[in-house]
Amino acid sequence: MYFCQIVLHKKPSLVGELVDSAIVDGFNTISELIADCKGQIQAQVTRIRELRVKKEEDPLAYFGGIAEEDAPDNMSLAPTDASTRAGGSVFTRYTDKTPGTLNTMATRKTKKNTRREERKKARGKKGSIYEEDYLIASVERLIDRIDSHRSDISRLTQALLRRGMRERASAIQNGVGEVYDMLESCSEEVFGAVLVNMNANTNDCMAENGPDEGPAIRSMPKIKRFESLSII
């Protein structure tokens, strides 16, 4: 669009007014992205460490301090008087139900519980047992986010150089490099423990149910560094 205006009006002087202005806007946008990524990595990795220390030092207190509504549907936090006063066993309470009805009720309840648990995980409420998983997924999304701007960053850096803005080009290149440095340094710490646990769970499941029934093993996110321009 800017190039068309320059050609249409035959005014090369518009390069500085229009093109350079657009390049500076791009520089500001990517600079904000870099600052946001750095802040997110630092804050979330620090929080992941805190949660893991708490869970390692006192797992009973860690899980015991969770509110009932934040607990997974397959985890009982503590027995209650209400459960013992309900009267009779599960068999005596459902003697008037047919096997088919019981199966249908169980299926509906399972689906409802699954949907409810997925919503809990998505929220990643601070202090809930889902917070760590939410933060790990958030760091993984950040990798995808910075990668999605790879071509924009490359074009911006080259444009800054061509318009004589070497200092800004260097700032962008160095800033992106620092983001990838931070991701590489924390990758093993953030994702490694998750992969170890998933592998252990997979082996247990395969041992019980056979090799075709184990859960899928999550892979380590790939971190592909930004190709820097050697002339900067």
Task: Tell whether pTM > 0.75.
Answer: no
Q: Is the pLDDT of residue 230 over 60?
A: yes
Q: What is d(CA 10, CA 6) in angstroms, rounded to the nearest whole number? A: 6
What integer pLDDT is reported at residue 19 of this predicted model?
Answer: 85
Q: What is d(CA 1, CA 164) in angstroms, rounded to the nearest whole number? A: 21
Q: What is d(CA 44, CA 131) in angstroms, rounded to the nearest whole number? A: 10
Least confident segment among 112-126, 131-145, 190-204: 112-126
Q: Is the pLDDT of residue 169 over 50?
A: yes
Tokens of 99: 């096997």
- What are the pLDDT digits (tens) for 15-72? 677 788 999 999 999 999 999 999 999 999 999 999 999 988 988 877 765 554 555 5
Confidence of residue 84 (pLDDT cuts 50, 70, 90): very low
- Looking at per-residue pLDDT, the higher value among 183 and 18 belongs to 183
Phi-psi region of 127 (alpha: psi -120 to 50; beta: other; left: phi over 0): left
The 8-class DSSP code of residue 60 comes to H
Q: Is the pLDDT of residue 140 over 60?
A: yes
What integer pLDDT is reported at residue 59 of this predicted model?
Answer: 84
Among 88-97, 190-199, 220-229, the range with the most confident prediction by mean pLDDT is 220-229
Q: Are the C-beta atoms of residues 203 and 195 closer than 8 Å to each other? A: no
